[in-house]
Chain A
Amino acid sequence: MQDRLKIALLLAPALIVILVLFFGGLGVGLLRSFNYMPVIGLNDPNLDAYRSLLSSPEVYRSFGLTLYIATTSTVIATVLAVATALLLRRSFPGRAVASFLVQLNLTIPHLVGGIGILYLFSQSGSFARLAHEYAVIAKPADFPALIFDPYAIGVILTYVWKEVPFITVITLATLQALGDDHETIARTLGATWGQAFRHVLLPQIMPGVLAASAIVFAFTFGAYEIPALLGASHPQALPVIAYRSFTDADLAARPQALALAMLIALISGLMIVVYSRALRGKGRG
């Protein structure tokens, strides 16, 4: 009994802060998306904001774009990260440098990576200059549009750059926790490299990899600054149109902005389920 009181007291401050700020913020956003806010005289909740979102072709395009950015970035980053983790597990010349750079990347804010990608891949960027130097292109416009483009290549490149190291570190931690090199045992028992990877290693690292991918998907679905910096002007990613309609001079757009915020919360909230399922019974304590 005394233990329960102690646990409650230890947890209380953190839980209060998170419940008030995070769940409070979400709750108020939800009410506001129903245009319900008694303190400022909005007493009749309605679904107008959601109706107008559902009837807007721009929102559908934006949703499709955001889903495409998040899915593509997550899949590419996950595949490359597993390969990177398997690479970093073995010793090779330059391994210390590579490990350091992987960890360094984790400390670099997304915005810095995004600006670096901009200066590398824009039509007057480093690669366009290289292409000009070797007479591949004659003028900047000849260089393919990889930034502000409809396929959001620049946005995806930035996310891949930032998220590969993140998933790699989690995969390495999973590998380290596994300890014994089970797949080498499988190899000595006659399994091919592919068989050992598919049947022995992959099932073991899957929970950690899946959990990390869920975090990456939720993040890339809801992040603002990279699509705001590198995205095309039409369509724009959901977080970008949410923020822009929130700051619109027309206050009537506010409930719509909050309805978009709720949509982002819902999709990323689904990732909590994926994350928890992936880790169920694994790595507890």
Chain B
Amino acid sequence: MARLRRVSAVLLIIWLILPLIPLAIWSFAGVWRYPNLLPQIWSYRPWSFALSDQSGVLSSLALTAGIALAVTLISVVIGVPAGRALGLYTFRGKALVELIILAPIIVPGIAVALGLQTVFIGLGLNNTVTGVVLVHLIPTLPYMVLVMAAVFAAYDPLAEDQARSLGASPAQVFRHVTLPAVLPGIVVGAMFTFLVSWGQYILTLTIGGGRVQTLPLIMFQFVVSGRNDITGAIAMIYILPGVLILILTARHLTGRSAALTGFGR
């Protein structure tokens, strides 16, 4: 049993890391023809091209990050109050509200995006960054609401009553009592909301119409044009925020964390 466990653990670790290995090697490949197991010539060229102005990768990186930041900010501002309502109160119609919030997490983006695109044309939102930010709210906002509902479910609002009875204004109660208590949850939820937006493909493609070129879109173009080396470099850049966020939040994340479950769609 112990031996089976050890073998499975080794296989698991290899399997999880495996698809990233050729991507990392390609990003340093000058010449790597079949059937060589490793590049004949190693080179920084894929990286220097990816980081040059002509490749458009850096401007795409800024655009992708800008969209994800805007989406996260809106999701936090709108999602935290809704999470508070769902986490702290029981009320009539709550099951329906939960269903409405759950639906966009489960129903795939393409089912909604094609219909939305025909409306966005009329509103002039098609092919615009604003349109892409709006459509990214569909998967991110419900996610943020559910994370905050879990955070508020573990929060005791009694301290707010005490602060109020001691004469604190609503703004003071929020700043000095509520916010410090739920801030870690908001930060972790926000970082993972950022990653949900960061990972979107079909919503950006449909509403951005190929004009709003986020990183996954240009990476897709490089992969279908057979530029494995540039694709590898972009892939390494593209996974970086996830790695950083995971390291930053590692101590907040346990198996119980609501931020990880429901994430990754």
Residues of chain A touching chain B, judged by Cβ–Cβ distance below 8 Å, are: 3-4, 6-7, 9-11, 13-15, 17-19, 21-30, 32, 37, 39, 83-84, 87, 90, 92-95, 97-98, 100-113, 115-120, 124-126, 128-130, 132-133, 140, 161-162, 165-166, 169-170, 172-173, 175-177, 212, 214-215, 218-219, 221-225, 229, 239, 242-243, 246, 254, 257-258, 261-262, 264-265, 268-269, 271-272, 275-276, 285
Contact = CB atoms under 8 A, between A and B. Distances in A.
B41 interface: no
Contacts of B122: 39
Helix, strand, loop or mixed for chain B's interface? helix
A97 B17 CA distance: 11
B34 A22 contact: no
Given A93-B6, A229-B223, A272-B103, A111 B201 contact: yes
23 contacts: A14-B79, A22-B138, A25-B115, A28-B119, A94-B10, A94-B13, A95-B9, A107-B264, A111-B199, A111-B201, A111-B219, A112-B19, A116-B20, A119-B23, A124-B34, A125-B22, A161-B19, A222-B107, A243-B202, A264-B108, A268-B106, A272-B107, A285-B153
B246 interface: yes
Contacts of B19: 112-113, 115-117, 119-120, 161
A11 B85 contact: yes
Given A14-B78, A14-B82, A28-B118, 10 more contacts: A3-B89, A104-B242, A107-B245, A218-B108, A222-B111, A242-B110, A264-B110, A265-B107, A268-B108, A272-B106
Given A21-B138, A229-B220, A26 B99 contact: no
A27 B85 contact: no
B32 to A, nearest CB: 10
User: Which interface class (under 10, 10 to 19, 20 to 34, 35 or more) fits B?
Assistant: 35 or more
B30 interface: no
Nearest to B154: A285
Given A242-B110, A264-B108, A21 B115 contact: no
Given A18-B101, A98-B13, A112-B238, A218 B22 contact: no
Given A28-B119, A169-B260, A175-B255, A119 B78 contact: no
